[in-house]
């Protein structure tokens, strides 16, 4: 374990990665409070296991790996105490988003749409959600995702397929026939 | 080219279909049906945009205070990390205590079994002694889940202690055989000598192998497939003994005939040697604190390696074969391993062997199943598998104690 002096050095080391970590955590967990908890837990874990950080490795890669595992743990514990709210109907949201006018109506529709996407993502299992977020939002390759999460390439691929199927199931009815 | 499946379209959208990317693009240009499906997919996925964290990330003072508070909770008033060091020392002492006390658990097992013949109330004592004798791998699992770092003397002492605790039932039999085969007559001191050698080995820093985990795992899985056929037939037959001794004896004869053919035997020995060496290398790369599945696979792999070493290599290493047989029922003509002190030593060895095999294959199957099934289904299947495995282990245990239907 590290002593008190190392804490300041550690915090200045991770400072430039924190904004990125908060965004990644938000994309995996879906809400800001959970993202904050995940980032705090992962930074604590990183500090406690600082001696495991190999000098040849990239700090962000190492922090990402810890962050992803913390997010998985967090999502799994969240599933054990579900707080699922009914997704709101979309109505004509898809049409409104498709238009380019940045008026208040469109902004409101955009928020509705985001809620619908968020509800679709809430139906995903923790592994599906994390692998999808890493692939879709972060642009990580399937190989990188498999290594970060600690599963096989094929398993990572299948989780992404299942996640995309859930997204399509929730969103495609609003595109069909248009 | 055939129509593109939904999964092909997803791979194409993310640019993960490298060898077939051009062909897929060409197909999308010529096939209206696939082009429409791809357009719908892309429209849905394009609409899923990344959320941005809008809250403040300037929570450095809070973060600093939170980490300090958590560190204070971890540490004693005498200094940061001191309690963790004491905890680690206690854990190391505990894992080494298991192999040190192992011979006494066998005496307790045999003694309580004899007492049971006179008093029925001795049955719980037999169960307690059996739990004691089989506790090593479970304690090793617990130690592996708590271990904190990958380097340093204390970690090596912990890992080697966990290894010795896990394989005590198998290694004890092996050492006893060496002692008997070489007519050293050291008795229990041969066992303590082996433990001393292991403790010395823990002091040395071991080099990291240059082969990647994937290469080693591939060779490991290949030889495992071959061995699984033999081991599974053995386990099923051993469970069969609970139902019918005659069927058990007949099937054992057939299996022995097959495995004692020179070619088959040479293949078996080679597969076991490859399993042990590749398994040891992979397990040292796999150690991870708090990862239950990985550590279960590592600890069950350690025991399987020691089990196979004793079970398959003994006739090669010790010639002429010693009187002690590792085959469950053959060692005691009345099919009761609690009948003699020598056969009692085989009860935890065989029981843990079956449990280790089922756990090792089960964890691998669970990881492989994640590639094809949803997590929730895999979890349900794992529970069902654990239930079936426990039933098999109990059936084998009862048959080895001379209890049959």
* pLDDT tens per residue, range B53-63: 776 666 777 77
Segment holding B205, helix H or strand E: none
How far is residue B136's CA from residue B144's CA, in Å, rounded to a whole number? Answer: 12
Residue B66 contacts A where some CB pair is shorter than 8 Å: yes
Q: Which residues of A touch B52 (CB under 8 A)?
A: 23, 26
Closest CA of chain A from B79, distance in Å? 9
Residue B139 zone, left/alpha/beta (φ > 0; ψ -120 to 50; rest): alpha
Least Cα distance to B34 among B74, B1, B56 occurs for B1
Residue among A126, A141, A167 minimizing CB distance to B16: A141
Share of residues in chain B with pLDDT > 70 (%): 82
A16, A19, A22: which to substitute to probe chain B, counting the most B Cβ within 10 Å?
Answer: A22
Rounded to 5 degrees, φ, ψ at B76 are -85, 165
Q: Which of A54-63, B195-204, B362-371 has the highest mean pLDDT?
A: B195-204
Name the A residues in 127-166 with CB < 8 Å from any B CB: 127-128, 135-137, 141-142, 150-152, 154-155, 157-162, 164-165
How far is residue B161's CA from residue B91's CA, in Å, rounded to a whole number? Answer: 9
Nearest CA in chain B to A22: B53
What is the predicted pLDDT for the residue at B80? 40
Residue among A23, A113, A167 minimizing CB distance to B53: A23
For residue B132, pLDDT over 80 is answered with: yes
Name the A residues in 35-64 with CB < 8 Å from any B CB: 35-36, 40, 43-44, 47, 49, 51-52
What is the predicted pLDDT for the residue at B60? 77
Rounded to 5 degrees, φ, ψ at B331 are -70, -25
How far is residue B280's CA from residue B211's CA, in Å, rounded to a whole number? Answer: 12
What is the predicted pLDDT for the residue at A112? 74
| Residue A51 to residue B149, Cβ atoms within 8 A | yes
Total residues found in chain A within this entry: 178
The tens digit of pLDDT for each residue in A24-54 reads 999 999 888 888 889 888 888 888 777 767 6
Rounded to 5 degrees, φ, ψ at A65 are -65, -45
Closest CA of chain A from B334, distance in Å? 48
What is the predicted pLDDT for the residue at B142? 84
Nearest CA in chain A to B67: A44
| Residue B6 to residue A161, Cβ atoms within 8 A | yes
Confidence of residue B274 (pLDDT cuts 50, 70, 90): confident
The tens digit of pLDDT for each residue in B105-122 reads 988 888 888 887 777 777
| Residue A4 to residue B68, Cβ atoms within 8 A | yes
């Amino acid at each position: 374990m590290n002593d008190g002096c190392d804490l300041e050095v550690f915090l200045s080391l991770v400072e430039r990665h924190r904004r990125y970590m908060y965004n990644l955590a938000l994309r995996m967990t879906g809400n800001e409070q959970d993202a904050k908890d995940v980032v705090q837990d992962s930074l604590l874990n990183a500090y406690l296991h600082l001696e495991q950080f190999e000098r040849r490795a990239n700090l962000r890669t190492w922090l990402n790996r810890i962050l992803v595992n913390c997010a998985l743990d967090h999502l799994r514990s969240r599933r054990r105490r579900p707080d699922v709210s009914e997704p709101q109907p979309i109505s004509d949201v898809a049409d409104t988003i498709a238009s380019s006018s940045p008026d208040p109506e469109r902004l409101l529709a955009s928020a509705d749409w985001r809620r619908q996407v968020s509800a679709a993502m809430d139906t995903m299992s923790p592994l599906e959600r994390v692998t999808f977020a890493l692939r879709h939002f972060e642009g990580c390759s399937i190989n990188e995702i498999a290594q970060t999460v600690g599963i096989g390439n094929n398993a990572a691929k299948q989780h992404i397929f299942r996640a995309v199927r859930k997204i399509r199931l929730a969103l495609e009815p609003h595109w069909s026939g248009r | 080219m055939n129509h593109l499946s939904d999964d092909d379209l997803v791979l194409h959208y993310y640019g993960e279909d490298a060898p077939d990317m051009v062909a897929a693009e060409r197909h999308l240009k010529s096939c209206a049906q696939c082009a429409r499906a791809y357009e719908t997919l892309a429209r849905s996925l394009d609409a899923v945009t990344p959320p941005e964290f809008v809250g403040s990330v300037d929570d450095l003072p809070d973060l600093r205070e939170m980490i300090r508070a958590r560190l204070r909770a971890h540490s004693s008033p005498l200094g940061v990390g001191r309690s963790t060091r004491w905890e680690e020392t206690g854990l190391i002492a505990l894992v080494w205590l298991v192999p040190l006390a192992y011979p006494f658990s066998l005496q307790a097992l045999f003694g309580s079994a004899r007492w049971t013949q006179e008093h029925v109330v001795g049955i719980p004592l037999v169960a307690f002694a059996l739990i004691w004798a089989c506790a090593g791998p479970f304690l090793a699992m617990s130690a592996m889940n708590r271990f904190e770092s990958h380097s340093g003397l204390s970690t090596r002492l912990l890992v080697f202690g966990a290894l010795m605790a896990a394989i005590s039932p198998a290694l004890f039999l092996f050492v006893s055989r060496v002692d008997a085969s070489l007519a050293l007559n050291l008795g229990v001191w041969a066992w303590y000598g082996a433990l001393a050698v292991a403790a010395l080995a823990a002091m040395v820093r071991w080099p990291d192998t240059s082969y990647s985990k994937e290469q080693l795992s591939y060779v490991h899985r290949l030889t495992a497939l071959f061995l699984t056929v033999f081991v599974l037939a053995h386990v099923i037959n051993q469970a069969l003994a609970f139902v019918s001794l005659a069927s058990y004896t007949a099937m054992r004869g057939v299996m022995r005939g097959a495995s004692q053919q020179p070619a088959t035997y040479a293949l078996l020995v080679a597969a076991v040697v490859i399993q042990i060496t590749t398994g040891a290398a992979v397990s040292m790369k796999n150690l991870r604190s708090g990862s239950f599945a990985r550590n279960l696979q590592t600890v069950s792999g350690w025991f399987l390696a020691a089990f196979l070493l004793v079970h398959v290599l003994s006739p090669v290493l010790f010639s002429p074969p010693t009187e002690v047989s590792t085959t469950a029922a053959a060692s005691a003509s009345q099919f009761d391993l609690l009948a003699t002190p020598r056969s009692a030593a085989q009860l935890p060895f065989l029981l843990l062997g079956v449990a280790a095999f089922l756990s090792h294959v089960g964890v691998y199957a669970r990881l492989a199943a994640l590639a094809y099934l949803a997590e929730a289904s895999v979890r349900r299947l794992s529970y069902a598998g654990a239930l079936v495995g426990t039933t098999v282990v109990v059936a084998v245990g009862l048959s080895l104690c001379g209890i049959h239907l």
